[in-house]
Amino acid sequence: MKKTLVLLATAALVGLAFPASARDRYAGPPPVLLSPDIAASRLTQLSRKPGDHVSRHSAQVIWIKRPARVAVISAPENGHDRGEMNPIYLPQQVVYDGGEPAGTIIIDTRENFLYLVEGNGRARRYGVGTGKPGFEWAGAHTVTRKAEWPDWRPPSEMIARERARGRVLPAHVPGGPDNPLGARALYLGSTLYRIHGTNQPWTIGSAVSSGCIRMRNEDVVELYLRVRVGTRVVVR
């Protein structure tokens, strides 16, 4: 009897000294929490061969010969972004196996995507608007200047071209939400081309510009913060 009382007393003391650990040991598992990335739709490469091309409008694995083979890691949920554009053009993390070093910007004008190479086989991909027929171009430049809410001064050639179509362009548009250059601009070499925002986000994913690369304002602000003057930009 005395031995039994001693054991009960000892057990009570252990329970008082370590109540949390005792409960935790026999408690049920904690609830499983899934992050949005894990809960997002998953894509598979098993049904396709390297080199196959899938339409950019399908939310499946995307094989691109230019600039590299990529596969979506995380993708936005179905449904358009406030009705403004196809959600495939929203920012996504992708696998990148091209030869460009980290920090390089690559623009695929065929698929209307911009890639910021991050290294370790990864890239950040954005949807862009590119040059319309007759205004396509390719080449490599560096970012020579960055500007927040830039002014827009249409070149004389554009003013004349639009005037012939019956549209009069202003000589100067101050920076702001209604400016065609949007929230940020990255100037490319000594050219008139820029990577810039837009006041027409629904045009992203289309060939609509006079050669500039346009992005959603939210995306160009993010890109602006991640690159610096001197960044190499490859347009293909």
Q: Could you confirm whether 212 is annotated as catalytic?
A: yes
Cβ neighbourhood burial of 95 (10 Å; 0-12, 13-18, 19+): middle
DSSP bridge pairs for 233: 105, 141
Does residue 43 have a pLDDT over 60?
no
Rounded to whole angstroms, the Cα distance separating 181 from 200 reads: 10
How would you classify the pairing of strands 122-127 and 207-209? unpaired
Rounded to whole angstroms, the Cα distance separating 185 from 7 reads: 76
Q: What was the pLDDT predicted at 84?
A: 60
Share of the chain above pLDDT 70, in %: 64
> What is the rounded average pLDDT of the residues 154-168?
89
Greater confidence (30 vs 58) lies with 30
For helices 2-17 and 19-26, the axis angle rounded to 10 degrees is 90
DSSP 8-state symbol, 129: B
Structure confidence by residue, pLDDT tens digits, 51-79: 333 333 332 233 333 444 444 444 443 33
Is the domain covering 36-235 a CATH 3.30.70.1350 domain?
A: no
Identify whether the C-beta of residue 171 lies closer than 8 Å to the C-beta of residue 195.
no
Does residue 106 have a pLDDT over 50?
yes
Q: Which range scores top for mean pLDDT: 60-69, 90-99, 153-162?
A: 90-99
How would you classify the pairing of strands 184-188 and 194-196? antiparallel
Identify whether the C-beta of residue 233 lies closer than 8 Å to the C-beta of residue 195.
yes
Identify how many contiguous H helices and E strands the chain contains and give both numbers: 5, 12
Q: What is the DSSP annotation of 174-193?
A: -SSTTSTT-SEEEEETTSS-
In terms of DSSP H, where are the helices of 99-216?
156-164
Structure confidence by residue, pLDDT tens digits, 107-156: 999 999 999 999 999 999 999 999 999 999 999 999 999 999 999 998 88
Rounded to whole angstroms, the Cα distance separating 94 from 133 reads: 28
Greater confidence (209 vs 45) lies with 209
Q: What was the pLDDT predicted at 171?
A: 87
Structure confidence by residue, pLDDT tens digits, 205-235: 999 999 999 999 999 999 999 999 999 999 9
Q: Which position among 57, 141, 172, 196 bears the catalytic label?
A: 196
pLDDT averaged over every residue in the chain: 75
In terms of DSSP H, where are the helices of the chain?
2-17, 19-26, 36-39, 156-164, 217-226
Q: Could you confirm whether 141 is annotated as catalytic?
A: no
Residue type, 137: W
